[in-house]
Amino acid sequence: MDMLAWSAVELAAKIKQKEVTVKEAVDAIFSRIEEKEKDLNCYVTLEKEKALKKAEEVQKKIDDGTLTGALAGVPVAVKDNMCTEGILTTCSSKILSNFIPTYNAEAVSALERAGAVMIGKTNMDEFAMGSTTETSAYGETKNPWNENHVPGGSSGGSAAAVAAGECFFALGSDTGGSIRQPASFCGVVGMKPTYGTVSRYGLIAYGSSLDQIGPLTKNVEDCAAVMEIIASHDKKDSTSLKREDTDFTSALKEDVKGLRIGIPRDYFGDGLDGEVRAAVLAAADALKEQGAVVEEFDLSLVEYAIPAYYTIASAEASSNLERFDGVKYGYRTEQFEGLHHMYKKTRSEGFGAEVKRRIMLGSFVLSSGYYDAYYLKALRTKALIKKAFDQAFEKYDMILGPVAPTTAPGLGKSLSDPLKMYLGDIYTISVNLAGLPGISVPCGKDQKGLPVGLQLIGDCFGEKKLLRAAYTYEKMRGDFGIPAFGKGE
């Protein structure tokens, strides 16, 4: 019995049927972690004792019928930018190296109420700024498919942990592709929900108007099950939406007949790797065979998404990260002369290069004399990009394309040229600007054996359509496997 090859939903069902216990599941995960973690570094913090204690509590509640949900008893990993009560939360930054939150992020509370067992906090790019998980102050995470490659980012630890069997599912956050891109690079499913669907309460903010929490899972069914649990209206998040349609698992049907799918020509131009293109177009053909109506169209404005995004995200980051000043929590420099010097020195020593780069850029574009030319210009561009999507969704139920232009780059290849790294976000970033939902589903491997992801983008509130198409595709594709386990049992 190789429990680790089971999906989260399968595991929960077997726990309910008393084939395995919650403790056995947690033990299996920790022996896997012991075996793989020294090579992969998926986690910043592991909480074995707490997890085992929790397992006992959850088992009792499952046995007495209080916990009956689809993920009760399942071990979960949480990205280290979500607050966890009494558990270190670092954002993979030195400046939060000793921060112990006094409360849980709402998404974490939701999982807890559903009986999921949190086993640790996953590694990420510092403050979610990066596309490789190499900007972490706690070492890079490696891609479980090939340890010479990055797992993607910023939710690289979460994606790698799911792919390596070091957890059954994970939470990530997506500001410009940070769930979908690592999911693609690690061969797992990742969803960025419509903005406002999952509460951001307790998510340490990067770009508040763009950030969304979402699941990283082994398959589409797990993705829908997690979505159903974490989507909720929350008074503690003023941008939280009231949605009635969060019964996401009802969308798990093999049926794409008549579904109108648009393929933006602009997503298949220069810069797209040939093997990625072939895998993604093959997936489109597969959906067509099942009765979807697939056609090409011009989305337009694609090349303006990255400059608009980096202006807006950096501006918001410079404001959001002002709170890290060495007073209320986290790191404080040792030697200083007066209050302002303490602030500056603390921040300069506490933040890494990429974070400082974005704070500087953000401060500049918001500064007097440049605010209109840069920041407002970017917000106007955002309005045009949103309009381009609105027009596309008048004709199509969803948009299909690649997640990233290439498969996972080699370790150490990306950080020397930040702008080039930013260009890798071209297919994911506009989804955040327009507040749309997007899902990444594995659709093939390149010659090196590295996974390729298929991206489906929906109109606002279109998650169910995305899940239905992704589920249909996944059933046709067959098992993708996880590294070292090969095909699931």
Partner 1 sequence: MANVISDETIEYVGILAKLELSGEEKEQAKKDMGRMLDYIDKLNELDTTGVEPMSHVFQVQNVFREDVVTNGDDSENIVKNAPEEKDGMFVVPRTVE
The pairing of beta strand 260-264 with beta strand 398-402:
parallel
Structure tokens at 323: 């709170």
Applying CB under 8 A, which of residues 344, 413, 445, 477 lies at the interface with partner 1?
344
Per CB under 8 A, 69 contacts partner 1: no
User: From edge to edge, which strands make up the β-sheet containing 117-122?
Assistant: 43-46, 117-122, 75-79, 169-174, 212-217, 189-192, 438-445, 451-458, 398-402, 260-264, 293-297
The yes-or-no answer on residue 79 being catalytic is yes
**Minimum separation from the CB atom of position 333 to partner 1 (A):** 9
**Minimum separation from the CB atom of position 189 to partner 1 (A):** 24
d(CA 150, CA 118): 25
The yes-or-no answer on residue 344 being catalytic is no
Return the half-sphere exposure (C-beta side, CA atoms, 13 A cut-off) of residue 308. 24
The smaller minimum CB distance to partner 1, of residues 20 and 379, is found at 379
Contact mark string toward partner 1, 299..328, x via CB under 8 A: --x-xx-xxx-xx------x---x--xxxx
**Minimum separation from the CB atom of position 87 to partner 1 (A):** 13
The smaller minimum CB distance to partner 1, of residues 148 and 348, is found at 348
**Minimum separation from the CB atom of position 387 to partner 1 (A):** 9
Q: What is the DSSP string of 277-333?
A: HHHHHHHHHHHHHTT-EEEEE----GGGHHHHHHHHHHHHHHHHGGG-SSSSSS---
DSSP E strand stretches across 80-200: 117-122, 169-174, 189-192
Which among 7, 109, 131, 154 is annotated as catalytic? 154
Give me the helix-helix angle, 22-40 and 156-164, nearest 10°.
120
Per CB under 8 A, 135 contacts partner 1: no
Q: Are 184 and 451 in contact (CB under 8 A)?
A: yes
Which among 7, 136, 178, 232 is annotated as catalytic? 178
Per CB under 8 A, 278 contacts partner 1: no
Q: Are 81 and 173 in contact (CB under 8 A)?
A: yes
The pairing of beta strand 75-79 with beta strand 117-122:
parallel
**Minimum separation from the CB atom of position 338 to partner 1 (A):** 6
Q: What is the DSSP letter of 205?
A: P
Q: In the range 450-489, which residues lie near partner 1 by CB under 8 A?
A: 460
* AA identity, residue 112: E
d(CA 224, CA 469): 12
Per CB under 8 A, 336 contacts partner 1: yes
Which among 36, 54, 79, 218 is annotated as catalytic? 79
Per CB under 8 A, 391 contacts partner 1: no
**Minimum separation from the CB atom of position 331 to partner 1 (A):** 7
Residue 74, SS3?
Answer: coil
The smaller minimum CB distance to partner 1, of residues 28 and 96, is found at 96
Phi and psi torsions of 401, nearest 5°: -170, -175
The yes-or-no answer on residue 154 being catalytic is yes
Applying CB under 8 A, which of residues 53, 100, 271, 486 lies at the interface with partner 1?
100
**Minimum separation from the CB atom of position 309 to partner 1 (A):** 10
* AA identity, residue 96: L
Q: What is the DSSP string of 221-286?
A: HHHHHHHHHHB---TTSTT----S---GGGG--S--TT-EEEEEGGGGSTT--HHHHHHHHHHHHH
Applying CB under 8 A, which of residues 31, 113, 384, 486 lies at the interface with partner 1?
384
Q: How many residues bind partner 1 (CB under 8 A)?
A: 69
The pairing of beta strand 189-192 with beta strand 169-174:
unpaired
Closest CA to 190 of 434, 455, 390, 449: 455
Applying CB under 8 A, which of residues 62, 78, 259, 359 lies at the interface with partner 1?
359
Applying CB under 8 A, which of residues 273, 329, 477, 488 lies at the interface with partner 1?
329
Omega prior to 318 cis, within 30 of 0? no
Applying CB under 8 A, which of residues 54, 149, 200, 347 lies at the interface with partner 1?
347
**Minimum separation from the CB atom of position 181 to partner 1 (A):** 20
Per CB under 8 A, 388 contacts partner 1: no
Q: Are 443 and 193 in contact (CB under 8 A)?
A: no
Applying CB under 8 A, the span of 28-36, 152-160, 363-371, 406-414 interacting with partner 1 comes to 363-371
Contact mark string toward partner 1, 219..248, x via CB under 8 A: ----------------x--xx-x-------
Per CB under 8 A, 83 contacts partner 1: no
Applying CB under 8 A, which of residues 66, 68, 348, 391 lies at the interface with partner 1?
348
Applying CB under 8 A, which of residues 37, 48, 94, 418 lies at the interface with partner 1?
418
Applying CB under 8 A, which of residues 102, 335, 416, 447 lies at the interface with partner 1?
102
d(CA 225, CA 222): 5
Per CB under 8 A, 50 contacts partner 1: no
Residues marked active site are found at 79, 154, 178
Residues that bind partner 1 (CB under 8 A): 98-100, 102-103, 195-196, 209, 235, 238-239, 241, 301, 303-304, 306-308, 310-311, 318, 322, 325-332, 336, 338-345, 347-348, 351, 356-357, 359-367, 374, 376-384, 386, 418-419, 434-435, 460
